[in-house]
Chains A and B, each alone.
Chain A
């Protein structure tokens, strides 16, 4: 069974540009989470999808970030326009059942560098 995959693994862009990160969860997993780790600090929650619906987006830093999960499968996280402070590692995680403490399986992350 394939794990959580993320694309790209690295992205280097200039301030003001747009970047789209993609996450493919484990097949059949209803829950999809986005997190990010900025400059060696703690990993912070961004948002949570249940299937195609946003369940909790309390961690999204501002309206430059837009997340979607079309059809309840893969998810994208778009940053537009990117700022220097958006640099960090963006992780995606998925878990199977809604409303449980099932293990969240993490992808390898996308390292975003904004110059």
Chain B
């Protein structure tokens, strides 16, 4: 069945450091890929998405590129801020699976001043 694997956390970085959170997926067909973020005390919010191969999603300085050849959707940011501290979830959905989201286990990011 479909699955998403993302790197274990927590990831601890200093402010202005470069961030990469790895995400790989297994799915039949052509899934859409997503990064969701959960800030402390809040619900899940969509951070960015890509719906086809080679698409790049971007938002708030974060980027991720849909790489079908490596079945990956790694999240990157050039310079993290303390306010980026949150849990990040990689996810996929497919049309023939009612568009339900299949999530990775989440990666907690802690950014220190």
Do they bind each other? Answer: yes
Residues in A neighbouring B43, C-beta threshold 8 A: 4, 91, 106-109
Q: Which of B18-26, B65-73, B94-102 contacts A (4 or more CB under 8 A)?
A: B94-102
Residues in A neighbouring B103, C-beta threshold 8 A: 35, 42-44
Given A43-B89, A91-B44, A99-B95, A104 contacting B105 (CB threshold 8 A):
no
Partner of B46, one of A31, A33, A48, A104: A104
Distance between Cα atoms of A106 and B91 in the complex (Å): 14
Q: Is A18 at the interface (CB under 8 A from chain B)? A: no
Distance between Cα atoms of A100 and B43 in the complex (Å): 22
Residues in B neighbouring A40, C-beta threshold 8 A: 105-106
Least Cβ distance of B63 to chain A in Å?
18
Q: Mark A16-50, 1 if CB is under 8 A from B, else 0.
A: 00000000000000010101000011111100100
B106–A45 CB distance below 8 A:
no
A48–B98 CB distance below 8 A:
yes
Least Cβ distance of B44 to chain A in Å?
4
B45–A42 CB distance below 8 A:
no
Q: Mark B69-113, 1 if CB is under 8 A from A, else 0.
A: 000000000000000000001000101011111111110000000
Interface size on A, residues (CB 8 A): 27
Distance between Cα atoms of A95 and B103 in the complex (Å): 17
Least Cβ distance of A42 to chain B in Å?
4
Least Cβ distance of A37 to chain B in Å?
8
With both beta carbons as reference points, the residue of chain B lying nearest to A95 in the complex is identified as B99
With both beta carbons as reference points, the residue of chain B lying nearest to A106 in the complex is identified as B44
B95–A106 CB distance below 8 A:
no
Given A31-B99, A33-B100, A45-B102, A103 contacting B46 (CB threshold 8 A):
yes
Q: Is B58 at the interface (CB under 8 A from chain A)? A: no
A42–B101 CB distance below 8 A:
no
A108–B42 CB distance below 8 A:
yes
With both beta carbons as reference points, the residue of chain A lying nearest to B6 in the complex is identified as A42
Distance between Cα atoms of A56 and B44 in the complex (Å): 22
Distance between Cα atoms of A114 and B99 in the complex (Å): 30
